[in-house]
Structure 1
């Protein structure tokens, strides 16, 4: 029994993987490189059937223009493929816009919001048990009043307003919404 090194075994596996790689997968890997970024943005390889690559285009004009230059593209593609293609077919059928990769939205921390009042939740973890609705409302009203005692007043409605809202909009959040155009 002969022992082979791990590198030898990995080399054999890598060669087998390339040998078993499908031509369509190969086309998809280097499509943008072969056709260029402008064409790649307007096209999408769909399938290979009987050695003919079907490509969806964003418009009939793109399909027609690419049909005229298909021989040049076919030569470039066949230089990179292990199994050569016979022809290229362009059509708008099957075109779907590639979904745009969503940009991750910046996370805004609570203390960065214009309405942030500081650490005002001093009783956040405390559970209140056996209170009726009137007691809960009274506690809420007292807490609101205590929080708003030191806040500046909105110049428009004269309600206590977080300083961040006044800096950002010049008025409280409610008054700023009232000033928005109605057709939005």
Structure 2
């Protein structure tokens, strides 16, 4: 006779539902894994392709749990004895209110999906699939996961859900990518735009958009992040001329063949003076005595 602990992993793997079962286990046993204090402020929404989406009730706790991310990942994987989670993404402002209730399947974008009722033949087939498992507790758990998975999958397909273009996760009509793949695509686009504007900091939005399709907001946010990074480097020892020239091109849009070293030096001097004056004004405002 084999114990539940010995037979469970191979049984689930043979049925192709091991990761789904473990994902349910993390959500159902979250308070046991993370502890009562964390569970009172954050609750897992879904786990896809190694990434867990963790709903947090406010940005303060989101920041706090960001510092504990590696520790949480270790706790989850230790609980499952499997490396199921490799990353955690935080969603501040949304929080599962009924943490102690049984996990209910949610679709992409928070859409709730109610499983359809399986017919007698389907239930009999699932019963036959797990009939060889002697341990009643184990048999019932696996049967529940199979029914839940098949019924929910069918409900989604009846509502027009299709497979994500990058993976096998089902997504609602009008959606091309699941949450995780969408986040990965946004991150890849952000990195590509970042590199493009490092290589060619003079590019306008129209020119950037011709290389990488992006919104005006994405373009400005990328430029703003690069400008802030280069401004910080201005005050580091031995700042190089390339950094100074890149900063000027980002801020003015002037191409390198249209700039002189004198123009770059003048612009950098103006930037430093402006930053110094801003710092002085802030200092005077903070230290000004109250009347």
Structure-1-length-normalised TM-score: 0.42
Higher relative contact order (CA 8 A, sep 6+): 1
- TM-score under structure 2 normalisation? 0.28
- Please identify which structure carries the higher helix content: 2
Which structure has the larger Rg over C-alpha atoms? Answer: 1
